[in-house]
Amino acid sequence: MTVTLRSLETALPPTVLVQSEVRDAFATQPGLTRLGERLVRTCFNSAAIDTRRTALTELSLTDTSEHPLFYDAASGLLLRPSTKTRNDIFAVEATKLFIEAAAKALDACAGITAADITHVITVSCTGFFNPGPDYKVTRALGLNPSVQRYHLGFMGCYAAFPAMRAAKSFCEADPGAVVLVVSAELCSLHVRTSNDPDAIMGSSLFADGAAAAVITAREDLPDSGPAIALDHFETILTPVGEEAMAWNIGDEGFEMVLGTYVPHIIDDHIIGALKPLLAHDEAVSSRPYREIEHWAIHPGGRSILDKVEAKLDLTEQQLMPARETLRTVGNMSSATVLFVLKSILEQPFTGGNERICSMAFGPGLTVETGLFTRVGGPAVAAVPAEQGAEDTVPAQIPAAV
């Protein structure tokens, strides 16, 4: 039985953040120390990001709301709304992205209708409400009211992997199952001005977006183009790093903890984390990493991608889907690796069995990995990538994950 991701679609909020403009707004906030201002400019300049998306129209820096909550364009001040205020916005704006991405994935899956969906798995770590996004998607798409619903909350950037792994298990248990997986994150809800290096890094990096996939083992469906066979998943906890990465709830939003040692932990343990995954397939485990055709790495930050590329001796082209995702839409936490997988699906397909090794990192320190096979017809050629920024991050600045 082959469990296949048969459609993969994304959704973005309309407001575009231009990295240089947001940098200047954050760097001129009152209360920043000289070091804090320097960290803001260096982090933003070194993030290898050109643009991001946000559900907060105020962060366009030109919005003239009469009662601003996050940014007052008249004074140029970043405001400090409560966690409740931020979460109330999440309940409204995240719902829109959950539904949009889910509807697009369902429409793109040939032979599947709303009546065929047997399971819904939603994912997010940037807000909470109940009835939750699994309920909202079910109602909005007109799914069967008896559909099995699950929500994976507050797991962090790697959460798309547990969601896909659960979908694979459901399909293996029931060959007729059709699972809709939807991830939506509003990371920009939690940005704030601060002299804290972790908060500065989060402000320079995180963004909003959603992605959805239809996963099934059904063999009676028409060919709808390129797809991904979900071969195997593994999860590893590194022996160190429990305090190096965390996602906590504060009075003024969620607070990221991201130690400067995180890239070194990944550098030290990435080979060991891959061993149990690649051992699942002898034909893959015996090949040099560079010979695995595609690498869908969660682009948590530029330094992480640099470490992965160097440690595994990968080519620039193999990391391009991750780097281009980071450059154009930033780090959207759990949804981001699905954007990278979609980018790989849109590359020209030469036929045969193209393997994909995928990986994401999160609190714990947790390393989630997946081994996939790209299958199906020819895809639309991707737009040629542009070169990212060449600045480096000083040693004292947290290198994002």
Res 399: pLDDT: 47
Q: State the pTM of this model.
A: 0.93
Residue 380 has pLDDT above 60, yes or no: no
Q: Are 203 and 41 in contact (CB under 8 A)?
A: no
Instruction: Give the pLDDT confidence of 31-86 residue by residue, as tens digits.
Output: 999 999 999 999 999 999 999 999 999 999 988 888 999 999 999 999 999 999 99
Question: How confident is the model at residue 297, as a pLDDT?
Answer: 97
In a domain, 345, yes or no: yes
Does one domain contain both 61 and 202?
Answer: yes
Is pLDDT of 389 > 80?
no
List, for residues 233-248, the tens digit of each pLDDT value: 999 999 887 777 888 9
Q: Is 18 part of a structural domain of the chain?
A: yes
Same domain as 271, residue 209: no
Measured in degrees and rounded to the nearest 5, phi and psi for residue 319 equal: -95, -5
348 and 304 share one domain: yes
Segment 129-132 long-range contacts (CB within 8 Å, at least 24 positions apart): 129/87, 129/90, 129/91
Q: How far apart are CA 298 and CA 333, in angstroms?
A: 8
Q: Quick check: 200 pLDDT over 90?
A: yes
Residue 259: pLDDT band with limits 50, 70, 90: low
Whether the CB-CB separation of 161 and 149 falls below 8 Å is answered with no
Task: Output 384 or 207, whichever has higher pLDDT.
Answer: 207
**Among candidate residues 181, 216, 251, the one where a domain is terminated:** 216
Structural domain tally of the chain?
2
Q: What's the rounded mean pLDDT across residues 72-101? A: 97
Q: Are residues 37 and 163 in the same domain?
A: yes
Please, what is the end-to-end C-alpha distance for the chain in angstroms? 35
Positive or negative: CA dihedral 226, 230, 231, 233: positive
| Same domain as 277, residue 138 | no
153 and 27 assigned to the same domain: yes
Tell me, yes or no, whether 48 and 182 share the same domain. Answer: yes
> In this predicted structure, what is the pLDDT of residue 261?
66
Give pLDDT tens digits for 22-32.
999 999 999 99
Q: Is the pLDDT of residue 382 over 60?
A: no
Residues for the chain: how many in total? 401
Residues 301, 191 within the same domain:
no
Do 296 and 190 share a structural domain? Answer: no
**CA–CA separation, 185 vs 97, rounded Å?**
9
What is the mean pLDDT of the segment spanning 242-260? 84
Residue 260 pLDDT class (50, 70, 90 cuts): low
Q: pLDDT tens, 333-375?
A: 999 999 999 999 999 887 778 999 999 999 988 999 999 999 8
Last residue in a domain, options 177, 192, 216: 216
Q: How far apart are CA 25 and CA 203, in angstroms?
A: 11
Q: Are residues 210 and 239 in the same domain?
A: no
Q: State residue 377's pLDDT score.
A: 54
Q: Binning pLDDT at 50, 70 and 90, where does residue 390 land?
A: very low
Structural domain range at position 102: 4-216
63: domain CATH number is 3.40.47.10
Instruction: Examine residue 396 and state whether it is found in any structural domain, yes or no.
Output: no
Q: Tokens 């990391």 belong to which residue? A: 319
Q: What is the mean pLDDT of the chain?
A: 91
Residue 131 lies in a domain: yes
Residue 383: per-residue pLDDT = 42
365 in any annotated domain: yes
Residue 317 is assigned to a structural domain of this protein:
yes
Span 133-162, mean pLDDT?
Answer: 97
Give the model's pLDDT for residue 387.
Answer: 39
Domain edge (last residue) among 156, 185, 216: 216
Flag whether 39 is in a domain: yes
CA 67 to chain centre: 31
Say yes or no: 234 and 369 in one domain: yes
Q: State the pLDDT at residue 332.
A: 98
Task: Give the lowest-confidence range in 104-108, 110-114, 364-368.
Answer: 364-368
> pLDDT of 208-220, one tens digit each?
999 999 999 999 9
In-domain check, residue 399: no
- Looking at the fold, whether 209 and 242 belong to one and the same domain comes out as no
Catalytic residue numbers, as ranges? 157
Residue 142 has pLDDT above 50, yes or no: yes
Q: Using an 8 Å Cβ cutoff, are 338 and 211 in contact?
A: yes
